[in-house]
Amino acid sequence: MKIEVIENVMQYNSKEADHNRKLLKKKGVLMINILSAPGAGKTSLIMETIQELSNKVKIGVIEGDISSTHDSEKIKNLIEDVVQINTGGTCHLNASMVARALEKMDVSGIDLIMVENVGNLICPVGFDLGEDRRVILSSVSEGDDKPVKYPKAFIKTDLVLLNKIDLLAYSDFDYNFFRKKVDELNPEVPVFRISCKSKEGFDQWLEWVEKSLMH
């Protein structure tokens, strides 16, 4: 029996991602896809970035979660342009979901869209959303071995953020080990140490976002 397979899932996703990329380029919008394990601080990073930049940059947010509007409600207190995607159990966002979210947002006036992907260091890695930049957010409380255990997440990224550095003094996290493992996987990638609580290192992150907006 011969079964015709017209397109595989990844080819379809690539086409949709290119469509998103073209649309955003035409409108002059920068899209950043933020990936992390659950609880590493994606929503905190987005909220603090809005607080710091929204006086000069018009920001939109796409929130990806398996269920609930918990995170998007918090962001809605800060900005108008928030779209929630509930994946209904799927452990990552894909480009079609983002395409539908973009239809619901008036992207014309927006400079920057931050996408909070579903908290997971495995599934989201393989799905291009049409983003201009991808950021991996790791955190001190997860431990220093994440690059060893989830290498692909650290290879396919433009920036690594290590969050919750205010907790370093209370943990056995070995920054030199973490950094060495990231460097082995991705020698070119910048690694910034930040805290969404104390705001330590936050200027470097904001500078990176602003530079990305200029290119």
Nearer to ligand GTP, 20 or 139 (CB): 139
122 Cβ contact list (under 8 Å, min separation 6): 91, 150, 152, 153
According to CB under 5 A, which one of 17, 30, 47, 71 is a site residue for Mg ion?
71
What minimum distance in Å lies between the beta carbon of 88 and ligand GTP? 16
Question: Torsions phi, psi of 11, nearest 5?
Answer: -65, -40
Q: By C-alpha distance, which of 105, 138, 107 is closest to 34? A: 138
The two structure tokens encoding residue 124: 């989201």
What minimum distance in Å lies between the beta carbon of 106 and ligand GTP? 25
- Asked if 124 touches ligand GTP (CB under 6 A), the answer is no
Contact 112, 91 (CB under 8 A): no
According to CB under 6 A, which one of 33, 43, 94, 157 is a site residue for ligand GTP?
43
Which residue of this chain has its Cβ atom nearest to ligand GTP in the complex?
Answer: 119
Q: How wide is the angle at C-alpha 190 spanned by C-alphas 166 and 139, nearest 5°?
A: 30
What minimum distance in Å lies between the beta carbon of 150 and ligand GTP? 15
Contact 122, 38 (CB under 8 A): no
Nearer to ligand GTP, 45 or 107 (CB): 45
Residues 129-158 that bind ligand GTP (CB under 6 A): none
Q: Report the helix count and the strand count for the chain, using DSSP H and E.
A: 8, 7
What minimum distance in Å lies between the beta carbon of 148 and ligand GTP? 20
Q: Which residues bind Mg ion (CB under 5 A)?
A: 42-43, 71
Q: Which residues bind ligand GTP (CB under 6 A)?
A: 36, 38-44, 71, 119, 163-164, 166-167, 195-197
